[in-house]
Structure 1
Amino acid sequence: MRDVCFRCWRPRPVCYCALLPSLPTRTRVVLLQHPRERRVGIGTARMTHLALPNSELHEGVVFEDDARIRALAADPTTAVLFPGGDADPAAGPPVRSLLVVDGTWWQARKMLALNPRLASVRRIGITPRAPGNYRIRREPRPECLATVEAVASALGALEGEPARFDAMLRAFAFMVDRQIEHQARSDGPRRRRRTQAASPLDPLRPHRAAPEKVVLVDGGANSGWPADAGAAGPRSELVHLVACRASGERFEAFLRPRWPLGPSVAHQLELPERRLLDGEEAGAAVARFREFVGPGSVLSAWGSFTLDLLAQEGLGRPPFLDVRDLCARYLRRRPGGIANGAQALLAGEPAEPPPRGSGRAGRTLGWLEVVLARLLHLAGEDHGAGLPG
């Protein structure tokens, strides 16, 4: 089995994570990915999502009943990025949310046709500053770019900083170049061979033998200020962090807020407000967490939110297992909250596990143990379920 990066899902020799920036944006980028595109190894929606902390990645074809997409479609500050868009990005209300349909052009047009709400949102197009670099896929027209190219160009126009978003394209250029090199080496006749069927849980198999190397983590943020409240600083900052290992070791830190505590943060995190205000300095907490993680470990969480907060605090981007993504891949649908994911995986109503720390994050960590243990078990069952040799 190939050694795969658990963040970008590319084989380690062609992992592009080291070249990915983390670019904060005023604009919320919401990627709507066709399910078939997720299986394309040289797709760029995940690359785009990883480079933009203020982004979401949704998979599907029809989003008419999706409450999140329905709300965005009804917001006049939302726009759809699509070739031939007839609106100037500078015209009309400022674009605060950008919906991006990711798929082949046939798939993208079909998705718009199947989603009247989406099709009714104002569209914006872009004029490429240079020809697209997607030399490993054929595009129907010169203005058709890879998703990462189109988003970089759109954000450059919307936020007035084209050069800053060009940094997103370094990883893209690396992926294209490596793919072309691989194709050049593989020009000889190909032999078909029967291989074991791929499993969505393949990334977990290396960890079945050493689960203690997986560090489960969850955190809480100081956020929730309305956009016009005038609060200085980032929209979210890490204020609570919990982690544990299969060996039973635990970690917890309360980080003193550097910005005014949001009006409902303590309530949402299920923590005493005084416990947060009396927390330790953020740098010291992150240093303790880095020591707890140690070398050779893999962080694992329900979604990338906590990892994004840690990266904002200077931890960088360690190897990462997104349990929510693995659960969705196995179930072939979005699992909803972590308790719902556990219920779907265990085919019943599992008893709520004991918390592994304080507040909501501690409860989430308890559920995360249950879900990851189940997925590791299922990964072992799947190991012999491929094609017969």
Structure 2
Amino acid sequence: MQTLYGDREKCYNCYRPKSSCMCSYVNSIKTKTKFIILMHPKEFKKVKNGTGHLTHLSLKNSELFIGVDFTNHKMINDIISTCKSYILYPSKDAINISREKLYDNDLDIQKDMAIFIIDSTWACSLKMLRESKNLQTLKHISFDNNKLSQFKIKEQPADYCLSTIESTLSVLELLNFWKLENIENDYLKTFLNPFEKMVEYQLKCVDNQLSNAVRYKIKYKVIN
């Protein structure tokens, strides 16, 4: 679905201008695990660089909520009360799912699992956790990262930092490893397609801008 955005059409799915819409590259994955993407309002405004929307579109069993304080959010509280819920956050007490299975007793297996993923900067993520009292009850999970982010258009705060969609892929791969999911490898291999195409498009735009700037300087020198 598209709508006019200024003088351009905008896609309501990925929230990008139609000219740079990435929806055609999305190959949605069906998971047993429910994913809840909590997007900071500042990320919502980052239409060009945001990967939270692409993550949501790539997961059939997912929800996306925008805000800072989710303490009294009914849908989120319902999910927490009915599911075995975790939040992806690398704290010192986090369960490292690269080394440890999330759960293995029958009582836990009877409940659906939900994983909350914060789509924000580190500073804003900390504020969201601090203000959302309900999120403070969730166990943290983390993973060992040996990948470099492919977000070439955006400088990450450290080498181990990944974008939202890249982090989600790592979680999916580990859930598969622990037999908590049974996702076909072909789906995992194409999960980052919309992200990679977005980065490719952005790099092309930067190259065009640089080329135009060089041409302008040459033209300006010739005229003057």
Please indicate the TM-score interval, normalised by the length of the shorter structure. 0.7 to 0.9
Question: In the alignment, which residue of structure 1 is the partner of 2:132?
Answer: 115
Instruction: Determine which of 116, 119, 123 is the counterpart of 1:106.
Output: 123
Q: Does structure 2 conserve the Cα–Cα contact (< 8 Å) formed by 1:37 and 1:102?
A: yes
Q: CA deviation at 1:16?
A: 1.2
Q: Give a deviation string over 1:300-323, Cα, whole Å, max 9, x none.
A: xxxxxxxxxxxxxxxxxxxxxxxx
Q: Give a deviation string over 1:255-291, Cα, whole Å, max 9, x none.
A: xxxxxxxxxxxxxxxxxxxxxxxxxxxxxxxxxxxxx
Q: 1:168 to 1:64 in 2, by over 3 A?
A: same
Q: Where do 1:93-172 residues align within 5 Å? A: 93=108, 96-160=113-177, 161=183, 163=185, 164-172=187-195
User: Is 2:108 the counterpart of 1:91?
Assistant: no
Q: Where do 1:229-268 residues align within 5 Å? A: none
In structure 2, runs of 5+ residues without a counterpart are: 1-6, 178-182, 215-224
Q: Does structure 2 conserve the Cα–Cα contact (< 8 Å) formed by 1:2 and 1:11?
A: yes
Q: How many residue pairs get matched?
A: 189
- Which amino acid in 2 is paired with 1:17? C
In structure 2, C-alpha distance between the alignment counterparts of 1:162 and 1:154, rounded to whole Å: 14
Q: Does structure 2 conserve the Cα–Cα contact (< 8 Å) formed by 1:83 and 1:143?
A: no
User: Is 2:206 the counterpart of 1:183?
Assistant: yes
Q: Does structure 2 conserve the Cα–Cα contact (< 8 Å) formed by 1:5 and 1:11?
A: yes
Question: In the alignment, which residue of structure 1 is the partner of 2:43?
Answer: 37
Task: Give the TM-score normalised by the residue count of structure 1.
Answer: 0.45
- Which amino acid in 2 is paired with 1:178? Y
- Which amino acid in 2 is paired with 1:83? P
- Which amino acid in 2 is paired with 1:88? N
Q: Percent identity?
A: 28
Q: Does structure 2 conserve the Cα–Cα contact (< 8 Å) formed by 1:152 and 1:166?
A: no
Name which one, 1 or 2, has greater alpha-carbon Rg. Answer: 1
Instruction: Determine which of 9, 15, 23 is the counterpart of 1:9.
Output: 15
Question: In the alignment, which residue of structure 2 is the partner of 1:57?
Answer: 64
Q: Does structure 2 conserve the Cα–Cα contact (< 8 Å) formed by 1:26 and 1:159?
A: no
- 3-state DSSP class of the match of 2:8? coil
In structure 2, C-alpha distance between the alignment counterparts of 1:117 and 1:5, rounded to whole Å: 32
In structure 2, C-alpha distance between the alignment counterparts of 1:99 and 1:13, rounded to whole Å: 31
Task: Give the TM-score normalised by the residue count of structure 2.
Answer: 0.76
Q: Does structure 1 conserve the Cα–Cα contact (< 8 Å) formed by 2:146 and 2:160?
A: no
In structure 1, C-alpha distance between the alignment counterparts of 2:125 and 2:23, rounded to whole Å: 27
Q: Give a deviation string over 1:156-176, Cα, whole Å, max 9, x none.
A: 211335843232201101101
Across the aligned residues of Structure 1 and Structure 2, the Cα RMSD in angstroms comes to 2.1
Q: Give a deviation string over 1:205-242, Cα, whole Å, max 9, x none.
A: xxxxxxxxxxxxxxxxxxxxxxxxxxxxxxxxxxxxxx
Q: Does structure 2 conserve the Cα–Cα contact (< 8 Å) formed by 1:83 and 1:144?
A: no
In structure 2, C-alpha distance between the alignment counterparts of 1:119 and 1:50, rounded to whole Å: 27
Q: CA deviation at 1:25?
A: 0.4
Moved over 6 A (4+): none
Instruction: Determine which of 156, 173, 176 is the counterpart of 2:196.
Output: 173
- 3-state DSSP class of the match of 1:130? coil
Q: Give a deviation string over 1:58-101, Cα, whole Å, max 9, x none.
A: 11100111122223334561110123462033133457101111
- 3-state DSSP class of the match of 1:99? strand
Q: Does structure 2 conserve the Cα–Cα contact (< 8 Å) formed by 1:153 and 1:165?
A: no
In structure 1, runs of 5+ residues without a counterpart are: 190-389
Q: CA deviation at 1:184?
A: 2.1
- Which amino acid in 2 is paired with 1:138? E
- 3-state DSSP class of the match of 2:95? coil
- Which amino acid in 2 is paired with 1:23? I
- Which amino acid in 2 is paired with 1:91? L
- Which amino acid in 2 is paired with 1:73? I
Task: Decide which moves more: 152-161 or 57-66.
Answer: 152-161
